[in-house]
Amino acid sequence: MQRQTTMIKNSDLNRKWYVIDASGKPLGRLASEIAQVLTGKNKPIYTPNVDCGDYVIVVNAKEVLLTGDKLNNKNYYNASQYSGGLRVRSAKTMVEKYPTEMFERAVWGMLPKGRLGRQIYKKLFVYEGSEHPHAAQQPETMEVKF
């Protein structure tokens, strides 16, 4: 007797909202946990071709940790496709001026690329401080332990 794999449909999903406090936690480890929740790999109903993940709100992105000497050595690159249009920013600059972009880039790198990955990425909300405007969704706090 063969077992049938259950394929979940979008109509059968019920998504939750989670709030994660990023203060004092390593960026990469936290981003990988968030990517798991966004894709739904932490659920028993995970289906690779369906967006079955939950919504994630990240607060205190400005207080995230970078281990080692990444503040000085790690660089973020943007190219404008024009000659001489390469912009290089250090991780120290990103933490001080653009903490939400840095966090979003870390999570985006761990999501699948393509149409489904872009759809999954829209369920991530990152904020510098401890306030967020999603109280109406009644998010649960999620503790991430390392």
Task: For residue 38, tell me if it sits in a domain.
Answer: yes
pLDDT value at position 63?
A: 95
Our measurement of the distance from residue 26's CA atom to the centroid of its chain's CA atoms, rounded to an integer in Å, reads: 13
What's the CATH number where 21 sits?
3.90.1180.10
Residues 6 or more apart whose CB falls under 8 angstroms from that of 15 comprise 53, 54, 55, 123
Q: Is the pTM of this model over 0.95?
A: no
Task: For residue 1, tell me if it sits in a domain.
Answer: no
How do the pLDDT tens digits run along the chain, 146 residues long?
677 777 888 888 899 999 999 999 999 999 999 999 999 999 988 989 999 999 999 999 999 999 999 999 999 999 999 999 999 999 999 999 999 999 999 999 999 999 999 999 999 999 999 999 999 999 999 999 87
Number of domains in the chain: 1
Domain containing 36 equals 16-66+104-141
